Structure 1
Amino acid sequence: MNTTTHAGAETRALLLVFLAAMIEGFDLQAAGVAAPKLGPAFGLAPNQMGLFFSSATFGLIFGSLAGGVIADRWGRRAGLSFALVAFGVFSILTAFAGSFEHLVMMRFLTGVGLGGALPNLVAIAAESTSPDRRGRAVALMYAGVPLGGAIASVVAMMGLHDDWQSIFLIGGILPLLLVAPLFLLMAPFRVSHDAAVPESRLRALFAPGTVAGTLLLWSAFFFGLVVVYMLLNWLPQLLVSLGFERSQASMVQILFNVGGAAGSIVGGRLLDGERPALASAGVFAALIVSLIAMSAVPGGNVGMAILTGAVVGATLLSAQALLYGIAPQCYPAEVRGTGVGLAVAVGRLGSIVGPLFAGALLASGWGPTQVLYSILPIAAICGLTTVALILRRRQTAPALA
């Protein structure tokens, strides 16, 4: 393959996975967008709404595990296609749910599809380019997730959806439209099944050369997603408690996502730079400073809230992009999908713990400022494990390329 052809294939692959990630980000926030109209339509109590929201999160865990295994056994393109079809079909079926039980089951199965997409997206982005550009390739893909979330937030704020069903129909049709271009335009991504493929992929993740990286990666993903989902779920409510109107809090949430998309791209470039460990430490330091600044924003100062919200989003999602960029570089190609899928699944546990932790703090009488301060040590732990992972990666990179 000549240089021009290879560059074209790389561009097509990155464009397709970026679009898929953007659709995933949109679908991940579809339930929140539909909630104000869906709840009254079904007469749901708060605990039922909580179960509806969490059903997709549990589906994400199972999907991440399955998606990684499929990526390694049948190829990245097949794995991503299965995931797109799954969350597309079940999102559409969610719109036709006639009971609460049906609603929860369809949302769980949508989550399985959404979870299965991410390990394949990471693997495709990482393997579509040269090793020295993998960080920015994965980060560019990951930037689509907060951008899709921002689009969903705009839909909610502007009331562009007429009913609760339409958001699920749109979120279901879009991934199905992407399946055919995925097969026609993107070169296959397969791992050859030869003697190099281990008999047990799970055992390979805990081999002497990879076990330290696996444990560090799991820790970083877990604590990182604790922070991400604490803010995604509770930031608007915390801002309202600080004295802002709900419309103003929604605007901050949108800028949080937009800042996150920009920060993701920056994170990837930092990972591919000459001093990624130092740059990563700087990103987490900036995240901690921005969280402190947000806690000090006076009520009613919308401009300052929007600015700090955008900076928090940029630094937080930059940190996440670092992790998603590092993850595929921790494993050889034959177990890369499984390794990334397991790491994402462990991270999803953090996405469950984070909102519950914030809710428990608020229920015990903590104020919004105290809750924001409680995030600081968690972000610091994530930062330390991420820097340790980057330092280790530089020592083992030749063996895992």
Structure 2
Amino acid sequence: MPAPHASTGPVGNRKFLTLFLCFIVALLEGLDLQSAGIAAAGIGAEFKLLPPQMGGMFSAGLVGLLPSALFGGWLADRIGRKKVLIGSVLLFGLFSLATAHVWDYHSLLAARFMTGLGLGAALPILIALSSEAADEHHRGVAVSVTYAGIPLGGAVAAVLGMVNVGGGWRGLFYVGGALPILIAFLLVVLLPESRAYLNRHQTASAATRPVASEGVAGLFQSGLWKSTLLLWLASFFVLTVLYMLLNWLPSLLQGKGFSRADAGMVQLLFNFGGAAGSLMVGRLMDSKGRMFTAICIYAGMLLSLAGLGLSDSFSMMLLAGLGAGFCTLGGQLVLYAMAPTLYPTSIRATGVGASITVGRLGAISGPLIAGQVLAAGMGLGGVMAASSPGIVVAALAAMALMRAQQILRS
């Protein structure tokens, strides 16, 4: 995995190490995010859960993501990226292990909520760290390399589910809990603190004042309010669709008559497509064709959702799954690549965290909406149809945001 900028010596090594460690944490986050969806059939059978209760289980983890994404980003702007990242990795590792030991529905909800707290704090810090490790012209690539770890982690989870690791659904959570705890200790030893944060800290120390973050209020000052609101709108609808697919796709495919192995293969291609989309879109977002890239990605999301809803053959479902992963994760990467460039260092993690928090509101809504659509008997096609209007809104907001940035730069 190359660094986004061809640097040599200590500075280049520092950049590479930061990106590598961020990628590993993102990989573990992706594994845990999709473990619940892959283990859903086993969990539902053991605790005799109805579709709305399954939606509640998925949303419990997403509710935990809400406060921690915002608070974690704000705290990282005040005390440093490294400390907060290590704490969040330990938190989601410990409560992933706790998920393997739940005894009823309510303990399951509590474990997933606490896991979500750790996961939510990690992502904005990973994006801020990787963006600050690269030079200005390679930030999109840096963020995409890190973010590609999330769908690849999901692919690892799909493989573990296909081989039935541990002999049951709990095995996924043992793996997803033990590895983050081990990685947290590596972060203590190896992860360098953000150079941008350290420079700001030194400037504040020289001025004999504490490092301060303007908080959420800073996101609406100096003409930033329009970009902030557009980013939030697009994030909300993209994550609505993404988490609907991440959580429900395996169960929906099995409900449509596909075997567990077939559903696992579609999920695997969904994640490989997501990794490819993240990397390719990140590269394109550093070019002059950003607007065209966004239009193609969001149009592809609509087409792939239609494919998932209408396909009956396994081969077509594989193709639709690959396209859905490529375009949905690519559509999210469009926003994540733009977010760090909107804000100065003093509020960068706060700004990214706030957009992720708003997006998580959509992520919470997605699984719940899918559960209600399924309870109404509308099936996979109905779920995909319910997702489509949000994609159109997200596309319009993303293009308006790019246009606003172009005007500001000119």
Whether TM exceeds 0.5 here: the answer is yes
Cα contact 2:55–2:371 (8 A) shared by 1: no
Cα deviation 1:311-355 (Å, max 9, x = unaligned): 121111111111111111111110011111111111111011122
Cα contact 2:65–2:118 (8 A) shared by 1: yes
**Alpha-carbon distance in structure 2 between the residues aligned to 1:238 and 1:263:** 23
Cα contact 2:36–2:247 (8 A) shared by 1: no
Residue 263 (structure 1) aligned with residue 263 (structure 2): no
Cα deviation 1:353-379 (Å, max 9, x = unaligned): 122223333444535334423333211
Greater CA drift, 268-277 or 2-11? 2-11
Cα contact 1:224–1:379 (8 A) shared by 2: yes
Residue 153 (structure 1) aligned with residue 167 (structure 2): no
Cα pair distance change 1:129/1:371, threshold 3 Å: same
Cα contact 2:278–2:329 (8 A) shared by 1: yes
* 1:30-45 correspondence to structure 2 within 5 Å: 30-39=35-44, 41=46, 43-45=47-49
**Alpha-carbon distance in structure 1 between the residues aligned to 2:314 and 2:90:** 41
Cα pair distance change 1:102/1:355, threshold 3 Å: closer
Consecutive unaligned residues of structure 1, counting only runs of 5 or more, are none
Consecutive unaligned residues of structure 2, counting only runs of 5 or more, are 1-6
**Alpha-carbon distance in structure 2 between the residues aligned to 1:293 and 1:44:** 31
Cα contact 2:90–2:184 (8 A) shared by 1: yes
**Alpha-carbon distance in structure 1 between the residues aligned to 2:301 and 2:108:** 37
Cα pair distance change 1:205/1:60, threshold 3 Å: same
Tell me which residue corresponds to 2:25. 20
Cα pair distance change 1:273/1:348, threshold 3 Å: same
Query: Structure 1 residue 122: deviation in Å?
Result: 0.6
Letter in 2 for 1:94: T
**Alpha-carbon distance in structure 1 between the residues aligned to 2:101 and 2:379:** 40
Tell me which residue corresponds to 2:114. 109
Query: Structure 1 residue 262: deviation in Å?
Result: 0.8
**Alpha-carbon distance in structure 2 between the residues aligned to 1:236 and 1:164:** 14
Greater CA drift, 372-381 or 316-325? 372-381
Cα pair distance change 1:115/1:106, threshold 3 Å: same
* SS of alignment partner, residue 209 of structure 1: coil
**Alpha-carbon distance in structure 1 between the residues aligned to 2:357 and 2:292:** 28
- Among 336, 340, 346, the alignment partner of 1:324 is 336
Tell me which residue corresponds to 2:75. 70
Letter in 2 for 1:215: L
**Taking every aligned residue pair, what percent have the same amino acid on both sides?**
41
Greater CA drift, 364-373 or 337-346? 364-373
Greater CA drift, 374-383 or 26-35? 26-35
**Alpha-carbon distance in structure 2 between the residues aligned to 1:292 and 1:100:** 34
**Alpha-carbon distance in structure 2 between the residues aligned to 1:104 and 1:365:** 25
Tell me which residue corresponds to 1:309. 321
* 1:377-396 correspondence to structure 2 within 5 Å: 377-396=389-408
Residue 286 (structure 1) aligned with residue 300 (structure 2): yes
Q: What is the aligned length?
A: 394
Letter in 1 for 2:328: L
TM-score by length of 1: 0.90
RMSD (Å), alpha carbons = 2.4
